[in-house]
Structure 1
Amino acid sequence: MNTSAPIAFRTAVSADIPAIVALVESAYRGESGLRGWTTESHLLDGRRTNNEDVGAVIKRPHSCLLLAERDGQLIASCHVERQGKFGYFGMFAVDPAQQGGGLGKAVLAEAERLARERWQCRAMRMTVIEQRNELIAWYERRGYLRTAEYEPFPYGDERFGIPRRPDLRFEVLVKTFAKQPA
């Protein structure tokens, strides 16, 4: 793949569901996930998502599944949703073969722009498994702050994976957007 070609962003449609599921699974689980640094394989087994869940995200009001493509190939995706005054950022996946070159940073910046401009959100909120210290540090370098707010991991709901340890929980991270000039 030509990594010097420009990145094109667009909103997902139903026809994209199988490719999105494959990308998310490759980034988070199994052998392909081990090629990148964002894998959760040491914490979770099972699936990360499925066609039904991705389809529901695409159809949900005030929700966008943002796709990044290069030369027509899906290379990254994320879910952005308006939740009150906040944008919510989740289901972030970058093709493991494309990680480490700034693509994730570009996708995150586009998601933040979308939340600010489309929904006039004042901040972006996300949850990250607290044991993912390297990933949390990556978000901190991009302006996200740890809030000391936690949400329980949904043990027993295999839509989120099958936990390999009993102490998982999500930490809430928030980035407040700079005020735009009037």
Structure 2
Amino acid sequence: MNAVITPVFRKAVEADIDAIVALVQSAYRGESSRQGWTTEADLIDGQRVDVANVAEVLAAPDSAVLLASIDSELLACCHIEKHGDAAYFGMFAVHPPRQGSGLGRLVLAEAERHAHQAWQCRAMHMKVIDARVDLMAWYERRGYRRTGEYSPFPYGEERFGIPRRDDLRFELMIKELAP
């Protein structure tokens, strides 16, 4: 396990797109993802995000991709987007060798802080593949609750990956943010 060093946070810009795509891909898909514990390699093949998707979220209003770097090295990212009085949290990735170091907790806390302070959001929402029991438990330990509200995996849309199973779905998880 790596020691936690406080990262520098900043909002992503267009020049960061390729690095974001590479980071997210490395954290979830392929052999490199197996260095960490967030891999989806046994569930889904193919890509997790693409350049067009990241460019789209960067250009959207009330949307930000937060980057966490240490010594100018990109080690983590997440996407947050304001939806009324809640923010959506996604595209969360930590460089696989840094997973388990506490960096992910810091990124999640920064996303919650940003959503609450910059956008006055009262809750954070996310969708997690419910087959990822270990990941859902990690979020529960950070105050998120499972809702039992499900949405289907986008089967047939290879832009989001090629499922290796036919039972994938997302469960909505919610955390109320401190007033």
TM score, norm. by length of structure 2 = 0.97
Match of residue 116 from structure 2: 116
Paired with 2:3 and 2:18, the residues of 1 have a C-alpha distance of 23
Matched, 1:143 2:114: no
Can you list the C-alpha shifts for 1:49-79, whole angstroms capped at 9, x where unaligned? 1111111111110000000000000000000
Identity of aligned residues (%): 61
How many matched pairs? 178
CA contact (8 A) 1:5 1:71 kept: no
Kindly state the Cα deviation for residue 170 of structure 1 after the two structures are TM-superposed: 0.2
Kindly state the Cα deviation for residue 178 of structure 1 after the two structures are TM-superposed: 2.2
TM score, norm. by length of structure 1 = 0.95
Kindly state the Cα deviation for residue 5 of structure 1 after the two structures are TM-superposed: 4.6
Kindly state the Cα deviation for residue 159 of structure 1 after the two structures are TM-superposed: 1.4
Can you list the C-alpha shifts for 1:88-124, whole angstroms capped at 9, x where unaligned? 0000000001111100000000000000011100100
1:19-34 equivalence runs, <5 A:
19-34=19-34
Matched, 1:161 2:166: no
5+ long unaligned stretches in structure 1:
none
Paired with 2:84 and 2:108, the residues of 1 have a C-alpha distance of 20
Can you list the C-alpha shifts for 1:110-149, whole angstroms capped at 9, x where unaligned? 0000000111001000000000000000000000000010
Kindly state the Cα deviation for residue 4 of structure 1 after the two structures are TM-superposed: 5.9
CA contact (8 A) 1:80 1:87 kept: yes
Matched, 1:103 2:133: no
Match of residue 75 from structure 2: 75
Q: 2:141 is aligned with what amino acid?
A: R
